[in-house]
Amino acid sequence: MSGMERITGTASQRDIVRLYAEHVSAPKAQFFKDLGIAFVQGERHGIYLKALEGLRKGQPPLELIDCRTSGGVFNLGHRHPAMIQAMKDGIDAGLDIGDHHAISEQRALLAKKLAGLMPPGITKTAFCVGGGEAIDLSIKLARGITKRKRIVSAEGAYHGVTGLALAAGDARFKDPFGWRPPDFLNVPFGSAGAMEATIDDSVAAVILETIPATGGILIAPGGYFRRVRELCDEAGALLIADEVQAGLGRTGKLWGIHGGVHENERVIPDIIVLAKGMSAGYYPLATCSYKPFIEKVFEQDPFVHISTTGGSELGCYVCGKMLDIVSEPRFLDHVKEAGARLGDGLVAFKDEAPSIVVDARGRGLMWGLEFVNDRYGHGFTLKMIENGVFADYCGNRESTVKLMPPLVTTLDEVDLIMGRLNAAFGALPRPK
């Protein structure tokens, strides 16, 4: 060990929280302190995430099962051996970020792999660093190809914090900045009628999360996406699927919109945006995959949209290895089986205590547990963490707690999660 610098656990949890408040974000540190969960993430492995220390003085280090997975970043859990190997192999083979203007073997290979996995006809991919950037690009492509401006999205949606992604999101994220851009319309999610009343030939695109995550893990009624697709076709508008959280096998199918939300509904959007899990937990990567006719936007100037570190060659290589795993039919079947088990447990909460639980809904390993009010959403978040489950309430629907364990969670581990959730649930106050 001599000569090796200590990287983690360099100070006490308290000192790191103080340092974070001083140099990163005092309001965030205060928020966690107020909730009583100001822990610092430490060692992590598989489905587990440890804190450097306990929540309170003298307690052993908090050991959590990661059911947040950062919205799917850790779809394969933490420190997946194949991903670590791929990182090492990629570096040893000489891969780095690569020059984004030059032609790239790794980007070409990953784009080809994606084309083979996407719903039919989506064969082109542009690379970005994060989800917001990829959403921005999808909206630029829709506007560029249709020569229209209007973008329709869902109330409560979250597509990122960059310009156009922010514009397409819920008002909550725009209002603090005094920004309500025209040409961006929010309609209630899941209402075909609202779409019928809104989509016309001034609309460039409809953009939807296939399972709105920040909005509260909402499941669209059967036929919804099919109807939106029809309306887009009639109006000459594009359909953009934000699969940043619901894609990559999360629903037990590779894509939410193509059989993941409703098994018999395989809707083909014009553009699919991916991020989070594309990083395999190690190298930030996001993609905007689209049908070839959209490429016309780049004909006049192929450099009209670029991303210096988007589509790092090392990231592309690792991502390809991740895709090999999550696209395996046996892997997807496992997600379904494990998800059904988790879902049964959550639905039982509703049956047991209908006075505090309104709904349990989800697909695959993406579940929302909706309480009667926000206070319960906040309270259950704290109780879950105290009982060893790292998960939280949805930002735009705080009454609903979101559970997204790693896709590699075994059936026994689902039982372990349910045991901890039961303890957390039992600790909630019941109305008198």
State which residue, 279 or 381, has the beta carbon closest to ligand PLP: 279
What's the min distance (Å) between Cβ of 82 and ligand PLP? 23
What's the min distance (Å) between Cβ of 286 and ligand PLP? 6
State which residue, 160 or 252, has the beta carbon closest to ligand PLP: 160
Q: What is the DSSP string of 312-327?
A: -HHHHHHHHHHHHHHT
CA distance 69 to 12: 25
What's the min distance (Å) between Cβ of 118 and ligand PLP? 17
Distance in Å from the first CA to the final CA of the chain: 59
Do 252 and 211 touch, CB atoms closer than 8 A? no
Type of residue at 310: G
Do 194 and 188 touch, CB atoms closer than 8 A? yes
What's the min distance (Å) between Cβ of 405 and ligand PLP? 17
State which residue, 130 or 377, has the beta carbon closest to ligand PLP: 130
What's the min distance (Å) between Cβ of 157 and ligand PLP? 8
What's the min distance (Å) between Cβ of 189 and ligand PLP? 12
Residue 104 exposed, middle or buried by CB count within 10 Å (0-12, 13-18, 19+): buried
CA distance 212 to 397: 11
User: β-pairing, 150-154 with 357-363?
Assistant: unpaired
CA dihedral 225, 227, 233, 234 (to 10 degrees): -160
φ, ψ (nearest 5 deg) of residue 398: -75, -10
CA 226, distance to chain mean position in Å, is: 23
* Interacting residue ranges for ligand PLP, rule: CB under 6 A: 71, 130-132, 135, 158-160, 209, 213-214, 242, 244-245, 275
State which residue, 256 or 379, has the beta carbon closest to ligand PLP: 256
What's the min distance (Å) between Cβ of 133 and ligand PLP? 7
State which residue, 71 or 345, has the beta carbon closest to ligand PLP: 71
CA distance 192 to 155: 14
Q: How many residues does the chain have?
A: 432
Do 362 and 217 touch, CB atoms closer than 8 A? yes
State which residue, 130 or 339, has the beta carbon closest to ligand PLP: 130
Stretch (H or E) spanning 141: helix 131-146
State which residue, 159 or 291, has the beta carbon closest to ligand PLP: 159
By beta-carbon distance, which residue lies closest to ligand PLP? 131
What's the min distance (Å) between Cβ of 68 and ligand PLP? 11
What's the min distance (Å) between Cβ of 251 and ligand PLP? 13
State which residue, 203 or 213, has the beta carbon closest to ligand PLP: 213
Do 102 and 300 touch, CB atoms closer than 8 A? no
Type of residue at 380: F
State which residue, 158 or 380, has the beta carbon closest to ligand PLP: 158
Do 424 and 67 touch, CB atoms closer than 8 A? no
Residue 259 has a CB neighbour count (10 Å cut-off) of 17
